[in-house]
């Protein structure tokens, strides 16, 4: 893949990350695409479960909505291969239009008998999301200057967390007024708008290389590259451990609220301050990565996350709110650092597969952590479980913390 001319002229100079990123036309458009599509996705995540609950009265079937959207992540290496077989910008456009059309079929879901269609669309939605994220990661690496990738990925985190604070409320209101089809229409419209944003990009892409190996070997190349890269492997492994612990921590939220003596609705306040922490760290990520290096930035965030998780065991409102904000600030650091490192260190023809494989290795443990936390929280209680999780996180940070190597410094050739 060749780079756009804007990439060569852009650099890390500038007064503030938002200005540095938005100053580059294609970077601003990529960020706009993330915001628009993220809004619709966040709205659908909430509405899908409520929709199933209303049609069936089953909590278990409602929870399967999340599983249906997450399950395709397990096939990340195979799905990421598609992002390396074709040009990324047309793939993003085609994926967005496909999902817009599929979402409109949800207007036919009006009873328990037609619920299969909702789950089928959610499963395709999850698979398309894996392909979309892999292609978008590769396209961003072509559109954004190497020195701005940390800023862009930090701002992407800020945008995603901001959407999580706003979009579910919008989705809930739209669902209350027009039902599930109204939310599906909103998401379809956001896909069309994001498609228009991607169509406006001026990134020049070279034709993809003709495959010379079997599909199985091409799929495995992403895993082999991550396993053999001394800079990426520790970041991705640390990300997986962190997300495993995040899953356990997430499963304890209502036990923590109960220990504080509040109703379950108080969990909304904890999620709000956590989102605010993530928004803040996203704005600071780029300068911090340039100053500390990816590994030390991630290690510092994981350590903060570990201390905050352990502190949640104390049954005090002030501590719970402060630790929630610290969790929001600490958790995304390893995700931002890992994605930025993958974009810096991976050759363009491999970037889709490596990005999708890294995503699978980092986020799949979160589901396992949720299951483990749900099984452990009642017999052990948060006062024992949370400090243990915090200790695991602090150990992970200590292993990851060594000083940055030369390969972590962003240079044009590294991308």
> Domain boundaries in the chain?
5-199, 215-403
Q: Judge whether 289 and 337 are in contact, CB under 8 Å.
A: yes
Question: What share of the chain in percent tops pLDDT 90?
Answer: 29
Model pLDDT, residue 376: 87
Residue in the structure block whose two tokens are 């991630």: 298
Q: What is the dihedral of CA 33, 44, 270, 150, to 10 degrees?
A: -20
pLDDT of 407 higher than 60 = no
CA pseudo-torsion sign 322, 323, 325, 330: positive
Q: Is the pTM of this model over 0.85?
A: no
- pLDDT tens digits, residue range 294-304? 999 999 999 99
pLDDT at 30: 83
Q: Would the pLDDT of 189 be above 80?
A: yes
> Is residue 92 scored above 70 in pLDDT?
yes
**What pLDDT is stored for residue 75 in this prediction?**
81
CA distances from 398 to 97, 148, 197, 369 (A): 45, 27, 42, 21
Region of poorest pLDDT, from 89-103, 127-141, 202-216, 369-383: 202-216
Superfamily of domain 5-199: MFS general substrate transporter like domains (1.20.1250.20)
**Token code pair at residue 159:** 């945008």
215-403 and 5-199 share a CATH fold: yes
pLDDT value of residue 15 = 47
User: What is the CATH number assigned to the segment(s) 215-403?
Assistant: 1.20.1250.20
* Tokens of residue 253, six digits: 């939220």
- Model pLDDT for residues 224-279, shown as the tens digit of each residue: 888 888 888 999 999 999 999 998 998 888 888 888 888 776 877 888 888 889 88
């Amino acid at each position: 893949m060749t780079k756009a001319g804007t990439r060569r002229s852009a650099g890390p100079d500038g007064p503030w990350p938002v200005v540095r990123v938005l100053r580059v036309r294609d970077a601003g458009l990529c960020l706009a695409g993330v915001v628009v599509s993220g809004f619709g996705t966040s709205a659908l995540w909430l509405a899908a479960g409520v929709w199933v609950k209303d049609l069936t009265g089953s909590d278990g079937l409602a929870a399967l909505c999340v599983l249906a959207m997450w399950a395709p992540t397990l096939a990340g290496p195979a799905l990421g291969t598609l992002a390396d077989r074709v040009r990324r910008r047309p793939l993003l456009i085609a994926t967005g239009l496909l999902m817009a059309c599929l979402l409109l079929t949800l207007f036919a879901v009006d009873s328990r008998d037609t619920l299969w269609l909702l789950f089928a669309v959610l499963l395709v939605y999850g698979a398309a999301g894996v392909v979309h994220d892999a292609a978008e990661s590769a396209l961003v690496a072509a559109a954004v200057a190497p020195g701005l990738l940390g800023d862009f990925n930090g701002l992407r985190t800020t945008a995603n967390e901001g959407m999580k604070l706003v979009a579910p409320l919008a989705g809930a209101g739209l669902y209350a007024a027009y039902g599930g089809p109204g939310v599906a229409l909103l998401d379809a419209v956001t896909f069309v708008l994001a498609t228009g944003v991607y169509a406006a990009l001026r990134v020049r892409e070279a034709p993809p290389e003709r495959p010379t190996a079997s599909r199985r070997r091409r799929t495995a190349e992403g895993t082999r590259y991550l396993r053999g890269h001394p800079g990426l492997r520790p970041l991705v492994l640390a990300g997986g451990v962190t997300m495993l612990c995040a899953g356990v921590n997430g499963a304890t939220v209502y036990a923590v609220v109960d220990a504080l003596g509040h109703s379950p609705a108080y969990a909304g306040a904890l999620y709000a301050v956590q989102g605010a922490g993530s928004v803040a760290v996203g704005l600071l990520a780029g300068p911090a990565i340039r100053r500390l290096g990816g590994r030390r930035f991630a290690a510092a965030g994981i350590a903060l996350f570990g201390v905050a998780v352990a502190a949640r065991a104390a049954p005090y409102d002030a501590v719970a709110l402060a630790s929630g904000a610290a969790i929001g600030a600490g958790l995304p650091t390893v995700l931002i650092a890992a994605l930025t490192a993958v974009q810096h260190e991976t050759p363009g023809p491999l970037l889709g597969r490596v990005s999708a494989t890294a995503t699978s290795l980092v986020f799949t443990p979160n589901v396992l952590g949720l299951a483990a936390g749900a099984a452990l929280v009642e017999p052990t209680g948060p006062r024992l479980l949370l400090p243990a999780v915090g200790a695991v996180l602090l150990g992970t940070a200590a292993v990851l913390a060594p000083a940055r190597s030369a390969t972590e410094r962003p240079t044009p050739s590294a991308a």
